[in-house]
Amino acid sequence: MSDLIVIAFDDQSTAFDLRAELVRLQKDYLLEMEDVVVVTRNSDGAVQLHQPVNLTAVGAAGGGMWGALIGLLFLNPLLGAALGAGAGALSGAFSDIGINDDFMKEVGQTLQPGGSAVFILSRKMTADKVLERLGTFRAKGRVLQSSLSTTDEGAWKALFDKAQAVVAAPSAKDGTSGNAT
């Protein structure tokens, strides 16, 4: 079963930085993602999805190759390649793997202008190590939504949410400041 986590930020660069760190975590085998998408809302209020794979381009490339191969059989590889690329691009444009685009656009409309969100669809993760490595993002965003357990969602909120991170950090009032009198 996959888990969805949506984290919002007040700026756009932090979301792209988080996505880059998540990709590094995946390369280190600490996280296995099905999809990770950055959604931005510009100052005009327009929402844009930044997906790591352009399905239209992939479909056009694959379709062009298959079209050329089939065209060779009918002695017209250029026409076959053109028709195959068109069909592949069309099928790629209508393919939606991973997180639903309409859902991401709907959530993107709730972001403040200039803000962003990272949508993470994860198959499995080593949560304690992932959260430890994401420590540089402490109190920089907020968890909008997740399908995690209550305990796991609380750990993500404690890391990202400003109010939660302040509560989780030790303060001088609770006697942990190290000052002895």
Give the per-residue pLDDT at 98.
72
Structural domain includes residue 108: no
Structural domain includes residue 25: yes
Amino acid letter at 15?
A
pLDDT at 63 over 70: no
Q: Which residues pair with 38 in a beta bridge?
A: 50, 118
Residue closest to 111 by CA, chosen among 5, 39, 13 = 39
Structural domain includes residue 125: yes
Q: Which of 66-75, 84-93, 136-145 comes out lowest in average pLDDT?
A: 84-93
Dihedral pair phi/psi, residue 175, rounded to 5°: 85, 10
Structural domain includes residue 179: no
Dihedral pair phi/psi, residue 165, rounded to 5°: -65, -35
pLDDT at 73 over 90: no
Q: Are 150 and 156 in contact (CB under 8 A)?
A: no
pLDDT digits (tens, 9 = 90+) for 10-20: 999 999 999 99
Structural domain includes residue 91: no
pLDDT at 115 over 80: yes
Number of domains in the chain: 1
Structural domain includes residue 39: yes
Residues 6+ apart with CB under 8 A from 49: 37, 38, 39, 101, 104, 105, 108
With cut-offs at 50, 70 and 90, classify the pLDDT of residue 173: very low
Structural domain includes residue 24: yes
Whether this model's pTM surpasses 0.75: no
Dihedral pair phi/psi, residue 167, rounded to 5°: -65, -40
Range of the domain at 145: 3-52+113-172
